[in-house]
A and B are shown apart, each in its own frame.
Chain A
Amino acid sequence: MAIFKSIETKYREERESLFRGLQNLDRRSFLKVSGAALAATGGLAAPHSFQPVTVAADADAPESKPAFRFAYISDSHLYERDVNDRFVRGLLRAVDDVNSLDPQPDFVFYGGDLAQLGQEKELDLGAQILKNLKAPLRIMVGEHDWYLDMGQKWQDLYGEPTYSFDHKGVHFVVLNSVVEKDFWTARGMTPMERMMTVAGLDNGLQSPFSVGEPQRQWLQEDLAKLPDDARVIVFSHSPLYKLYKPWNFWTDDAEEVQAILKRFKQVVVIHGHTHQLLTNRIGNIHFHGLLSTAWPWPYAPEGMPELTVEMSRPDPFNPNDGCGDGEVAVHPDGLIDKVYNLWNRNPITVNRNYLASWGKQNVPPKPNRPSY
């Protein structure tokens, strides 16, 4: 039999928890709060942005102001409009979300798998929609974009898949980490058959993802001139570690790539492909996954990193549940707060302290519906 607290009691409790949290906010965040007081210990987003205004309940972690922010959209898996309107709707919603951020982020990063089957019309549709982003776009390739024509159309649209750039003192590297050993020639597959094989997450005929020796060479050289305390963020479609091989949540030469990154004080890797909230840390490398705008993947039955606090199992009645977009707040030390803007849910932030403290502080909220 339920015990009913009066509404007044509940609100008093919430108010108290708010004011406790307020004491730890720096001035900039406080300005956001003072005009918009609120409670809800899960963290509430001020409607104009994804950024939660109060961080998680144990706000005793050392605070630091982000140096800049960028938004992300990933894994849209577009078909042509008359084939599938739902995925197009998802990407439109994400672009709408990012465009209505105030203030606008420094740039928008696209995490790969823009098309579902790598077809020209799909890539063109995606490119056209992304053109409507107000902030500048940085884009990465995924396996669904590549394996129909081995990246020809992609390169026409977006040029080299592997590149680096600097922004406000942070060195960004974008890899093509979905390189697969040739499994199709011996089988005499047509391009579409090859694409369909790669498109099946659980299709065992494909090879595991890798970065490959040429790109590792390139990475080594690209990073050579940086000092050990440089701030480095690596974008990769595959996770750059080995999570679950049957679903290619995997990078075959992960150890080699991690070795190249080992000398830095800390490195952040942001990856797509997994369509879920995913957090990991291996040594000095902090790994963060991206959400998809099309559909969520279930969590792997084994190999899950301990640090990941899963998102609640999505409800199939809402075709967008478990999907979304988000923002990354880059701090002066190069570590990031990763905001998962889950559609129709409260956003979840994985605070940089969570990884920095190996999971002791700023623990994200736990799910009530665990994955099976």
Chain B
Amino acid sequence: MDSTRFFRSGPWLAAVCFALAGGALSGAGVAGEPAAEVPRDELGAATVAHQLELLGKLIPDAEAVKATSAFDPVVFAAHVPDDNALTPERVALGRKLYFDKRLSADGTVSCATCHDVTRGFTDRLPGSMGIGRQVGKRNAPTVLNTALLQTMFWDGRSPSLDHQARQPILNPIEMGMSSEAEALKAIAGDAEYQEAFQKAYGRKMNYEDLGRAIGAFERTLVFLDSPFRRFLAGDASALSAEAQAGWELFNGKARCAACHPMNPSNPLGSDNRFHNIGVSAKRQNFEGLAQKALTALEKDASEQNLDELAIGTDLSELGRFMVTRNRADIGAFRTPLILNIGITAPYMHDGSLATLWDVIDHYNKGGEANLYLDGGIEPLALSEAEINQLVALLFSLTDVRFAEQNQREFERQQAAAQQNRPVRDEGLALRRTLPYEDRVMGAKKSDQ
């Protein structure tokens, strides 16, 4: 385990806490902070008080707006909507709303439930769990560093953080409010809120401002200070040799950089475009689903319906197609950002890849062949050593403030990967076998 320079190790402690944490949670074996230290609610999210405390330590109040200066100011400004300039009042209001469970129909779910400060601002579940313990089809993306994404949600159906924040509150599987009015009613009685909205936006509380405030808060969640970034800034000792080799591969043989570019103007590692890389393509009948989707959308193509279809039905697998109806977008999802990826397992739109080793295995074999597979995905012929190097690089993308968590995750994932590599396929990876061949040639293979 070479890439441990910045990570404090404590494997036996982690094991104990892992066991405890496993006991505390309902069925999803995840490791957040040691359970003994973190009080959690019935959905597994850390309590609001605890999350706020941690957040305060991570970003002291005064620093909140300043944190965003880590981004290129011109690029950052271009991503902030005109009607929602960043002010301390708006950030404070947004923070309050983010942690407020009153915004859910049964008072158990807030944004922080699925985007938990203690769990990499996600929930470490394949599909998120909402009110009434309903499980959605999509994996909760992290909120960290989302200020520079061009679209929100895996299928990009939301153009901004402000807009995105308003959707889950109304989704029957997530927070389950039946209407905007109902959501507002839940907090209208709170005088503090009335005053906060007035101070932040100079007008009476309304639903769009609610979204804006949450968006403003989320824009301050900038966590870029990773060993990788320090390495790029000139500290050659910040990355292990293994991770440095991984960075070479990232830009070379592994072909990652084309969809996951990281540069000073936009360090997120997402090209903001939509690609079908074949995750879970094996299980899909894309044609049938596409026909179903077109029918459903003909009946009702509203924002609300799209949101419900995307989260709650098997049409979720169609991804971007639901938004654009372009054939090339069937099964395509937006390239996620890869910063802090070490602490945001499991991976992909449906959370079906449990470890980063699985992720690399998936790419190595050329994704899952399907009629709509993005043409840039091809078998990579990476060796085991190279896969380890790439994983080392990916774990080095985590902000140093999460170093402990990152290390624990690394160990957990490594242990799991050593047991089992479910998506691995060496024959495809090394290009010995060709996709479509069996289907085209039938039972007999071509002989030369």
In the complex, the answer to whether B301 meets A129 with C-beta atoms within 8 Å is: no
**Is there a chain A Cβ closer than 8 Å to B306's Cβ?**
yes
Chain A interface mostly helix, strand, loop or mixed? loop
In the complex, the answer to whether B294 meets A4 with C-beta atoms within 8 Å is: no
* Nearest CB of A to B320, in Å: 12
In the complex, the answer to whether A15 meets B328 with C-beta atoms within 8 Å is: no
In the complex, the answer to whether A129 meets B441 with C-beta atoms within 8 Å is: yes
Nearest-neighbor residue (CB-CB) of B327 within chain A: A45
**Is there a chain A Cβ closer than 8 Å to B157's Cβ?**
yes
Contacts of B371 in A (CB 8 A): 47, 96-97, 100
Per-residue CB contact flags for chain B residues 144-170 toward chain A (1 = under 8 Å, else 0) read: 000000000000011110010000000
Given A89-B434, A89-B436, A37:B295 Cβ within 8 A: yes
In the complex, the answer to whether B326 meets A346 with C-beta atoms within 8 Å is: yes
Contacts of B159 in A (CB 8 A): 2, 4
In the complex, the answer to whether B301 meets A15 with C-beta atoms within 8 Å is: yes
In the complex, the answer to whether A80 meets B286 with C-beta atoms within 8 Å is: no
**Is there a chain A Cβ closer than 8 Å to B174's Cβ?**
no
Contacts of B286 in A (CB 8 A): 47
Most buried by A among B157, B291, B303, B440: B440
A80, B290: Cα distance in complex, Å:
37
Per-residue CB contact flags for chain A residues 335-354 toward chain B (1 = under 8 Å, else 0) read: 00000000111110000000
Contacts of B235 in A (CB 8 A): none
Nearest-neighbor residue (CB-CB) of A89 within chain B: B434
**Is there a chain B Cβ closer than 8 Å to A137's Cβ?**
no
Interface size on A, residues (CB 8 A): 51
* Nearest CB of A to B448, in Å: 6
In the complex, the answer to whether A129 meets B326 with C-beta atoms within 8 Å is: no
Nearest-neighbor residue (CB-CB) of B289 within chain A: A47
Contacts of A346 in B (CB 8 A): 326-328
Per-residue CB contact flags for chain A residues 72-89 toward chain B (1 = under 8 Å, else 0) read: 000000001100010011
Contacts of A315 in B (CB 8 A): 376
**Is there a chain B Cβ closer than 8 Å to A320's Cβ?**
yes
- Tell me the B354-388 residues at the A interface (CB within 8 Å): 371-376, 378
Chain B interface mostly helix, strand, loop or mixed? loop
A124, B446: Cα distance in complex, Å:
10
In the complex, the answer to whether B448 meets A38 with C-beta atoms within 8 Å is: no
In the complex, the answer to whether A92 meets B436 with C-beta atoms within 8 Å is: yes
**Is there a chain A Cβ closer than 8 Å to B258's Cβ?**
yes
**Is there a chain B Cβ closer than 8 Å to A44's Cβ?**
yes
A15, B300: Cα distance in complex, Å:
10
In the complex, the answer to whether B294 meets A11 with C-beta atoms within 8 Å is: no
Most buried by B among A1, A7, A317, A346: A7
Per-residue CB contact flags for chain B residues 273-299 toward chain A (1 = under 8 Å, else 0) read: 000000000000011001100110110
Contacts of B326 in A (CB 8 A): 40, 42, 44, 346
In the complex, the answer to whether A81 meets B448 with C-beta atoms within 8 Å is: yes
* Nearest CB of A to B241, in Å: 29
Given A44-B327, A92-B437, A1:B78 Cβ within 8 A: yes
Contacts of B372 in A (CB 8 A): 344
Question: Which residues of B pack against A, CB within 8 Å?
Answer: 78, 81-82, 157-160, 163, 255, 258, 286-287, 290-291, 294-295, 297-298, 301-303, 306, 323-328, 330, 371-376, 378, 431, 434-437, 439-442, 446, 448
Question: Which residues of A pack against B, CB within 8 Å?
Answer: 1-2, 4, 6-8, 11-12, 14-15, 35-40, 42, 44-48, 80-81, 85, 88-89, 92-93, 95-97, 99-100, 121, 124-125, 128-129, 132, 315, 317-321, 343-347
Can you list 18 pairs linking A and B with CB atoms under 8 Å apart?
Answer: A7-B157, A7-B302, A15-B301, A36-B290, A40-B325, A40-B326, A47-B286, A47-B290, A85-B434, A88-B434, A92-B436, A96-B371, A96-B436, A96-B440, A129-B446, A132-B440, A318-B375, A319-B378
